[in-house]
Amino acid sequence: MGGTVRMYPTITSSASATRMSSGRSLPSKNGPYGGCGLGCTECTGDQVSRSSAASSLSSARVAGRMTGRKCAMRGSGMAVTVPCGPSAGDGGRMGGMRIAVTGSSGLIGTALVRSLRADGHEVARLVRRAARSAEEVTWDPERQYVDADGLAGCEAVVHLAGAGIGDHRWSAAYKKEIRDSRVLGTAAIAEAVASLDVPPKVLVSGSAIGFYGDTGDRAVDEDAPPGDGFLPSVCVEWEEAAAPAQEAGVRTVFARTGLVVAREGGAWGRLFPLFRAGLGGRLGSGRQYWSFIAMHDQIAALRHLIDTESLSGPVNLTAPRPVTNREVTEAMGRVLKRPTPFAVPAPALRLVLGELSVDVLGSQRALPRRLEESGFSFAFPEIDDAVRAALHRPVPH
């Protein structure tokens, strides 16, 4: 993995081929979904360039040529360079790491697995049944069981599993499921990692900016203490459960993720249909901050955490400029070209959502200080760009 900072997607303002500094042009041969792993539907087959510093893998490990894609975002005038995989026509795979992933069937996990495999890495998916191939590892987070032998040879483990925060009304039973699915699952993974004779170099463990609670207008970074309430307490236990891996000397990174902008799921998965129908509007006062991140940047950031040896501990995965819910509403209206006349009063949200409304109406203004200081560059730092990206760059399934 080395100490090289991997140069993941960057934006240029040119509609011509995207280039990275000191890079070399490489021919693109595959069509849509052909190598970037992020499912761009706008592959043009143009040449792009890729810096020799852009890959954390040495040239000696490359078994086939890398191919590039230009993603011409419709109506945005932007081109994007994405992590690319080996061309199918080259007759070989790029040598890579073996990486284990939990939550691989979820929104983020699905995109991450595809991105890693497209870049030549071997992915071992943790599944809650008997493994059917060498690419699967059996685990049961409720029983805190992991087939540790299946993790042997992994250089990295990415732990993303956990019950959805907004999938159900927060009954006492579902709150227990939210907590247990995170805490018990993390403890099981951390203990399995620590038990290996040769443990992985890094454990990237999921977390959330819910750690900070309601911050109001106050901007917070990774040095801020936990907030009060249910979600902050879950996040604290969630991260503490990874202690066995840390004590075993495994570099452990907590990916404190914000609101991922994706039309296939999560908060935005529910917003897009409403706004497309002209029924979108602000929630409550609209003054609460939403710390968002484009799906494309989320995947690139997770890969950056894997590759960057200087990073450990909490890292906020959010765009550099959090926006208010009112600004989100305005951006959705602009991009979708729909009116946004409606507003949902806070009392109505509390009545419908119960305790979950605290999370919806709460304000979290989290900044990605450590991510940016480590050299990460956002492809979609602004809310309008992130929404456009969600519309034109579907998450692969």
Tell me which of 77, 94, 111 is where a domain ends. 94
Q: Which of 207, 356, 342 is nearest to 267 (CA)?
A: 356
pLDDT at 37: 42
Question: Is there a single domain that holds both residue 126 and residue 210?
Answer: yes
Q: What is the pLDDT of residue 352?
A: 59
Question: Is there a domain that residue 171 lies in?
Answer: yes
Query: Who's near 85: CB < 8 A, 6+ residues apart?
Result: 35, 36, 37, 66, 67, 94, 117, 118, 119, 120
Which range of residues forms the domain containing residue 305?
96-392
Q: Are residues 4 and 146 in the same domain?
A: no
Residue 95 has a pLDDT of 53
The pTM assigned to this predicted structure is 0.77
* Same domain flag for 90 and 137: no
Asked which of 46, 62, 94 is the last residue of a domain, the reply is 94
Cα→Cα distances 57→5, 123, 359, Å: 11, 16, 40
- Same domain membership, residue 174 and residue 113: yes
346/359 same-domain check: yes
Q: Which residues of the chain have pLDDT under 70?
A: 1-95, 349, 351-357, 393-397
Q: What is the pLDDT of residue 35?
A: 35
Same-domain check for residues 130 and 216? yes
- pLDDT on residue 261: 94
- Beta-carbon contacts of residue 164 (< 8 Å; ≥ 6 apart): none
pLDDT at 361: 78
- Mark whether 348 and 387 lie in a shared domain: yes
Q: What is the pLDDT of residue 334?
A: 94
Res 353: pLDDT: 61
Residue 397 lies in a domain: no
In a domain, 90, yes or no: yes
Q: How many residues belong to the chain?
A: 397
Question: What is the reported pLDDT for 189?
Answer: 97
Q: Is 343 exposed, middle or buried (0-12, 13-18, 19+ CB in 10 A)?
A: middle
Same structural domain for residues 86 and 105?
Answer: no
Supply the pLDDT for residue 357.
66
Count of domains for the chain: 2
Whether residues 176 and 307 share a domain: the answer is yes
Question: Shortest CA distance to 377 belongs to which of 2, 4, 1, 6?
Answer: 6
In a domain, 137, yes or no: yes
Whether 41 is in a domain gets the answer yes
CB 196 within 8 A of CB 241: no
The C-alpha atoms of residue 233 and residue 239 are separated, in whole angstroms, by 10
**250 shares its domain with 346:** yes
pLDDT of res. 12: 30
Distance of alpha carbon 242 from alpha carbon 331, whole angstroms: 38
Please check whether residues 68 and 166 belong to one and the same domain: no
Question: Is 298 among the domain residues?
Answer: yes
Instruction: Give me the pLDDT at residue 376, please.
Output: 97
- Residue 81's pLDDT is what? 36
Shared-domain flag, residues 138 and 248: yes
Residue 75 pLDDT: 32
Residue at which a domain ends, from 94, 116, 150: 94
For the domain that residue 260 is a member of, what is the CATH number? Answer: 3.40.50.720
CA distance 97 to 112: 14
Structure confidence at residue 346 (pLDDT): 74
% residues pLDDT > 70 (the chain): 73
